[in-house]
Amino acid sequence: MASNNKTDVIILIGPPGAGKGTQLELLQEKLHLDYIGSGELLRERKKTEDFTGKKISQCIDKGNRVPTPVIFYLWMGKLEELSCKETVKGFIIDGSPRTLYEAEMLDLALGWYEWDQNVRAIFIKISAKESIQRLLKRRMCKDCGRIFPYLGEFRHIEKCDECGGELYARPDDTVEGVKKRLAWFKTDVMPAVRYFKKRGLLIEINGEQSVAGVSHDILEAIGQK
């Protein structure tokens, strides 16, 4: 059994445009931890073209959120898979929790697998204004879906650095679309953030600085600097 109470669990949270994806990549490079991403799990699951697979595709195409029980069933599968490994140094969680009850469920799930001794929720903070500005300017690869934030060297990239694909602005990255996502973040996700704060697990990071600056602050906060 892989469970041990030294396992590092890092939960990444941030409003749209906070640069979570970029920070996730940097953390992975530096710490070599396992990864649980709701987006990735959904993309993987929809390849199975059964009832749930098709339903996930429909949901994503319409821009709807996949409901919690479905996300959690994917999540529990992934946690179970990790628990079978010889050792689990740690893992990074991205894309959930999106609500207060997802935070509570995650807490219980981590407790079940005995990975609840070293949990940190990293909240990358940026203002609504900054979020809107960044999202309106970010681009996505047509072929592989990689997101290019309007940050640092990514600003000048013309083709996808992974697959050479063409870059385009996401259709829902409009002022209206971004405002909707920000409102959702405030009503739904912020209660989860406050939950981790109450539990003493929250680390707030200033997201309105360079990519390297944010990365430095995160590593320092989790004692890896």
The CB-of-148 to Zn ion minimum distance in angstroms stands at 9
**Within a 13 Å sphere around the CA of 206, how many CA atoms are in the beta-carbon half?**
7
Q: 97: which residues sit within 8 A by CB, 6+ positions away?
A: 11, 13, 103, 105, 106, 189, 192
Q: Which is nearer to Zn ion, 163 or 175 (CB)?
A: 163
Q: Helical H runs in 97-203?
A: 100-112, 128-137, 175-184, 190-198
The CB-of-108 to Zn ion minimum distance in angstroms stands at 37
Residue 160 lies near Zn ion (rule: CB under 5 A): yes
Q: Which is nearer to Zn ion, 75 or 148 (CB)?
A: 148
The CB-of-165 to Zn ion minimum distance in angstroms stands at 4
Q: 166: which residues sit within 8 A by CB, 6+ positions away?
A: 141, 142, 143, 159, 160
Residue 144 lies near Zn ion (rule: CB under 5 A): yes
Residue 167 lies near Zn ion (rule: CB under 5 A): no
Distance CA 35, CA 10 (A): 10
The CB-of-140 to Zn ion minimum distance in angstroms stands at 9
The CB-of-143 to Zn ion minimum distance in angstroms stands at 5
Distance CA 160, CA 145 (A): 9
Span of 54-62, 66-74, 107-115, 152-160 interacting with Zn ion by CB under 5 A? 152-160
Contact (Cβ atoms closer than 8 angstroms) between residue 173 and residue 63: no
- The binder of Zn ion chosen from 157, 163, 169, 183 (CB under 5 A): 163
Between CA 220 and CA 69, with CA 103 as vertex, the angle to 5 degrees is 135
Span of 60-68, 121-129, 130-138, 142-150 interacting with Zn ion by CB under 5 A? 142-150
Residue 191 lies near Zn ion (rule: CB under 5 A): no
Span of 67-75, 103-111, 119-127, 154-162 interacting with Zn ion by CB under 5 A? 154-162
The CB-of-206 to Zn ion minimum distance in angstroms stands at 30
Distance CA 195, CA 123 (A): 12
For residue 190, the tally of other CB atoms under 10 A from its CB is 16
Name the residues that contact Zn ion, by CB under 5 A. Answer: 141, 143-144, 146, 160, 162-163, 165
